[in-house]
Amino acid sequence: MPMKRIKALLKSLAKGTNLDESWKPSGYSSKTEASEALESLADSLEIKPSVGGGGARAGSAKAKLHAVEHAILHVDGASRGNPGPSSIGVIIYLASGEELYSTGKRIGRATNNVAEYRAVIEGLKIARELGVRAVTVRLDSELVVKQLTGIYRIKNVELESLAREVGAHSRHFSRCSFEHVARENNREADRLANKALNSVVDS
């Protein structure tokens, strides 16, 4: 299965477009071919697809791939100025190590810590929409991980509010854990965040 096309299709569906609007820009010759590609991916993951017709949207499940038992989320937030222009990077991997979804986007003006929290929230939202049941969230902010795991108290009002939002999203999973990783082990999420941030600076 050409992974470049299926990734393009998943990303297009994730933006809220339906299959009718997504198959051609993703490089498929027909809607049927795109639908079969999704079914093939589902079969390889041993999950059950539910790709609707023209009205199927990513909001009900990005690409409608249900019952992914476990996924690894690598997330990162970037800020220049602290506070300053900020962005986030999110990558979702299957337990096998295969990349399922990735994105980087601007989030406006924020501090480093706020950007990290926003990256976690975005990652959890996407994972849920992809039908993931259990998640492991990995990020290189030791502070945020220790706050989310209850090791550190959260004294900042804005961070406390964001932590509650993380908690609300995490309850949609059968299991949700947070792990600190070294920056060199989070390079791809960092790259996506900085690529998005550079698009602000360069524009």
One pLDDT digit (tens) per residue for the chain, 203 residues: 467 788 888 877 776 677 878 888 888 888 788 887 877 776 665 544 433 333 333 333 344 444 689 999 999 999 999 999 999 999 999 988 989 999 999 999 999 999 999 999 999 999 998 889 999 999 999 999 999 999 999 999 999 999 999 999 999 999 999 999 999 999 999 999 999 999 855 44
80, two tokens: 């220049």
Nearest CA-CA partner of 105 in 82, 127, 121, 94:
121
- CATH number of the domain encompassing residue 165: 3.30.420.10
Q: Domain check: are 187 and 152 in the same one?
A: yes
Domain ends where: 64, 88, 114?
64
Q: Are residues 73 and 60 in the same domain?
A: no
**Helix 112-129 to helix 157-170 angle, to the nearest 10 degrees?**
10
What pLDDT sits at residue 139? 98
Cα–Cα separations (whole angstroms), residue 125 to 86, 122, 152, 163: 19, 5, 24, 14
Final residue in a domain of this structure, among 64, 85, 115: 64
For residue 176, the cross-strand partners are 135
Strands (E), 15-127: 68-79, 84-94, 99-110
Co-location of 132 and 43 in the same domain = no
Considering the domain architecture, whether residues 177 and 87 belong to the same structural domain is answered as: yes
- Judge if 80 and 154 occupy the same domain: yes
**What pLDDT score was predicted for residue 4?**
79
SS3 55: coil
Bridge-based pairing of strands 84-94 and 132-139 is unpaired
Entry pTM? 0.70
Does residue 197 sit in the same domain as residue 102? Answer: yes
According to the model, what pLDDT value does residue 62 have?
41
Q: Specify the pLDDT at position 108.
A: 95
| Domain match, 58 and 74 both | no
Give the residue from 11, 30, 64 where a domain finishes: 64
- Are 34 and 92 part of one and the same domain? no
SS3 category, 135:
strand
Percentage helix, strand, coil for the chain under 3-state DSSP, each rounded to 5: 45, 25, 30
- Neighbouring CB atoms inside 10 A of 19's CB total 25
DSSP state of 59: G
Whether residue 111 is found in the same domain as residue 35: no
Domain count, the chain: 2
Residues 10 and 85 in one domain: no
pLDDT (0 to 100) of residue 43: 62
pLDDT in the model for residue 157 = 97
Cα–Cα dist 152/148, whole Å: 8
Q: Are residues 59 and 73 in the same domain?
A: no
Identify whether the C-beta of residue 122 lies closer than 8 Å to the C-beta of residue 115: no
**85/153 same-domain check:** yes
* Domain enclosing residue 155, as ranges: 68-202
Residue 73's nearest CA partner among 49, 101, 48 is 101
* Dihedral, CA of residue 181, residue 182, residue 184 and residue 190, to nearest 10: 60
> Which pLDDT does position 39 carry in this prediction?
75
Per-residue pLDDT at 14: 72
Give the CA angle between residues 36, 105, 77 to the nearest 5°: 120
